[in-house]
Structures are given as structure tokens and as C-alpha cells.
A and B are shown apart, each in its own frame.
Chain A
Amino acid sequence: MPTAIECRDLRKTYDDKVEAVRGLNLEIQAGECFGLLGPNGAGKTTTIEILEGLLAPTSGMVSILGHRWDENEREMREWLGISLQETRLSEKLSVRETIDLFASFYREPRSTDEVLEELQLTEKADSWVGKLSGGQRQRLAVATALVCNPKILFLDEPTTGLDPQSRRQLWDIIRVFQRNGGTVLLTTHYMDEAERLCDRLAIIDHGQVIAQGSPPDLITRLGGHHVVEFLVDGNSGGAQDVWRTLPSVESVREDDGLIALNVKQPHLTIPALLEAIERQGGKLQHLTTRQASLEDVFVRLTGRHLRED
């Protein structure tokens, strides 16, 4: 499969001070939906804007469908649909006028009505942008990206602020786009979204990729399959070391008194855990086990990362 987006050793330093991106490598295949995950300030927006050719990198190489920004910018713009993290479109224009305006910049855009229909904005076509709800504005922003009939869609937090219903609608739109051969690069803070929508993910922190792979792959590799969460009464200070040495435990996390163990084989861990609590003279208040999720991977990676700083 050809490469749609590629960057190598990307670096961006703002004002000679803030190192927002430090040596980032990505290779995204055509037809793929690729997600960038990371805590606030990780460098997602900076990365995506460099890939979109809106921000010059301090150093590094970017290639979009085999072309470089400094060589072929105008032509490349015809291929990309962009939705920025935060754009306030003109409030005094109607939804239709706004989409028509963006469509007019492209040589062969799609029909406005079709895009309105797809994003369920037909009803609001003649309302002013200023009168839309937050979620409707968000959908309009995606509509302005889709109307150009792009090959690659860049979406920076497209579903932030949407209700669950609208988020699912947007997922469907993205899937249809992808099914028709489009490539998608999106950033998100929603783990379920990343898990369901993205073929592959990169978790970014401090401007670097700290893990990459398909969601199931990341979960089995880094989430530890299962999570055992429990709460003990009494003296448990310094007990972290005890939990870590229990059989089959991969990592320990404490969250507001609740202890979470990433575990490969719960049937080995739990008996040993009960025994250890007994030995300490603690009293078990609460115990659950569940499948590991992407969230566990994320918290584990970025949480540990932050603590190590």
C-alpha cells in the first residue's frame, strides 16, 4: 500500500524555548485511519499542523502522497481536507454560504447539498453560523473539510464537545470516507473513539511517539490484558512493592486509594493477592477485575512518563 503521510525526525521548537515536537516519525498508509493520542500539550496539534503544511518544522522531513510542501503546495492543497482544533467561522454567514465559500477554493468540489445531507445539517442550511450549537459548529467544520472531496482528511479533535449521538454520526462519516478510499489522520482525547475508529494509533507525549500500533496490539502489548482493582483498609503505605512482586503482575498504579494491577493471568494473581493482604493484616474492601482497555495503556504510558520527569 502506498504511503499517504510520512514524516521523519520532525522537530519543532517555538521561540527557541518550547520543544513541542522532538524527533517524531510517522508513516501512514493510504486508506488508513490513523489516530494521534496524547495528553494536553503533548504536541499533537503542532504535529498535525506541520503535516498540513500550515506550520514550518524546525527540522525534519514531511511527505504527503509523495510530495513535499516546499515543492508543490498549491496542488497538494487540493487533496487535503482540514479541520483545525479551533476555528471560529464567520457568524454572520449561513451554513450553506460557508460551505459554498470553502468549496469555491477547490477545482472540483462536491455538491454542497450532498455534504449538508451527510453531516445532517440540511435543516440548518440557512441558519447563521452564530446561531448554531457547539456540536453543529463542529460538524460544519468537518463539512468544510469534506466538501473539497479530499484524499486525506486531517481532523484535530473533531468530536470534542459533541454529544454521544453526534460522535457516533461523525464516526460513521469518517468510516464512509475511509471506505471510499480516503486516508484519515485524527487526534482525540476519547479512548473509545480511538479504539473503535482507528486502524492504528500513535501515543505521543512530550513531542515523541512513545507507542504505536493497532488498538488490540497496544492493549495486549502494554495494557496487560486484565486489570485487577482493589481497595484495602488499614496500613498499606509502602505496599506498592509488595503488589509488584505478586505473580503475573506487570505494573501497579494507584488512583485515589484504589490500586490497579495490570495482570496477565488473574487466576494466578488473585489468590496471592488475598494472601498478601491477610499477611499485612489489611481488610479487603473492594475487588474487581476487567479487561484492559486503551485507557489503561494510555494512563500507564503517559502517567509513568510524567512521574519519571
Chain B
Amino acid sequence: MTSSHLPEPALQAAAESLASLPSAQAAHLHACAQCQRQVALYRQLYVAAAQLPPPVFNFDLTAKVLAQLPRPPAKPAFTWALGLVAALVAGVVVVFTLVFGGALAQAMQGLFTVLGAGLGIGAAVLLAGQCLELVAQHRQRMRLLAFS
């Protein structure tokens, strides 16, 4: 009997599941008290290992990890602030237009009148100058014709 005791891998496997043994080894185990004790010892070892208290840290790992996570970019806050600034600027423009709109329009209107008059005078001066130049040129040619 001793010459064919189960090898260690078979003893360990049998301790987990007897169904894993080939039939010849299962038959030997059924008849051999020594192999049965070895299997029982492994089984006891497995049960005891599974029941060992798991190690634990003496602090809250989840809380520590969450406290160290990189903060998400402050995109929502930035967008909100930008929107607020834009709204304030728009509001100021609207109020300014409502309050000073008339005076501004008048000021602009006066400005346009002065500009238009200036442009008209300028154009008239240029036209008169051109006419005088043409008359002078005509007289010059007449004199040249008279002496030729």
C-alpha cells in the first residue's frame, strides 16, 4: 500500500475536491488511512487559512484616497464667472444707451453736419480752382495763336 501513496499534488487536490482525483487514486484514498489523514490535514489547513482575519489599515483608506484625488478642473465656475462679466458689460451698454442715447445721437448728428459742410466747401474750392486753371490755360493758348 505504501508504495502507491498519493503524491502531494493529488493530496492537495483531493483536499479541495475529491472529484478531481483519477479513479485509481480515488480508490487508493478510499482504502488508505494514511493518505486520508494527509488529505484531512490539508483540508484543515485550507479551512483555517480561509478563516484567518484579513489585515486592515488603522485608518479609513477610502477617505484618505478621496482626499488625495486631483481636483477636477474648475471649468463650470470659470464659465459662470465669464457669463456674469459678459452680462454686466451688456447691461452697462444698454443702460448707457438708454440714458445718453438722445444726446449721443444729437452729437453725432451735429458732427455729420459740420463734416458735410466742410466736404462741400472743399469740393467747391477744388471745382473753382479747376475752372480758373482751365480759363487761364485757354487764354494762354489764344495769345500763342495771335503771335504765330
Q: Report if A and B associate in a common complex.
A: no
Measured CB to CB, the residues of B under 8 A from A are: none
Measured CB to CB, the residues of A under 8 A from B are: none
